[in-house]
Amino acid sequence: MSSSGSSYGDIHRYEPARESTAAAIAIVLLTIIEVVFVFLFVYGLMFGWASTEFGNMYMGALLALIFVDLAFILLLYRKEFLPDVMIVKKRRRKWEDLYVREEDKDGVGVDTTDALETVKRAVYPYYKK
C-alpha cells in the first residue's frame, strides 16, 4: 500500500489547496445569506413568530436553512482551501489499542489463595490486612 521507505507519521501525499476565486466569492455570498437568516431567526424569536402554527413552521424552516447554508460554507472551505494530506499510519493489532504490553496480551491468571481478602478489598477499598 505504501512505499517501502515510509514510516509511521511520514507524510505520504501532500497536495496544496486549489484556493479558487470562485469558491472564495461563493463563501462570502453564502456567509452574507447566513447572516440574513440568523438575523431573521433572532428577530422572529424576539417578536414571538413561533406562537402561531404557521410561524412555528416558518421558524423551523429558517433554522433548517441556517444549518444547510452553514454546511455548504464548510463544505466549500474544506474542499477548496484545506490541503489534501495523507499521513502513513501503522496498523496495530487489537490488543495494542488497549495499551497492553506484548507479554501481557494473554492476560493473567486468577490467584485463588487469598480470595476472601480480595473480596474484602473490593467491597471496602480502605480495608487493611
Domain assignments of the chain as residue spans, ordered by start: 11-106
Do 88 and 6 form a contact (C-beta atoms < 8 A)? yes
HSE value, Cβ hemisphere, 13 Å, CA-based, for 22: 2
| pLDDT at position 129 over 60 | no
Taking only the tens place, the pLDDT of each residue in 69-107 is: 999 999 999 998 888 777 776 666 665 566 666 676 666
- pLDDT confidence of residue 46: 95
- pLDDT greater at residue 72 or residue 127: 72
- pLDDT confidence of residue 13: 75
Category of 118 on φ-ψ map: left (φ > 0), alpha (ψ -120 to 50) or beta: alpha
Q: What is the sign, positive or negative, of the torsion defined by CA atoms of 19, 17, 31, 54?
A: positive
pLDDT level of residue 3 (50, 70, 90 thresholds)? very low
- pLDDT greater at residue 18 or residue 66: 66
CA distance 66 to 41: 9
CA distance 1 to 18: 26
- pLDDT confidence of residue 1: 45
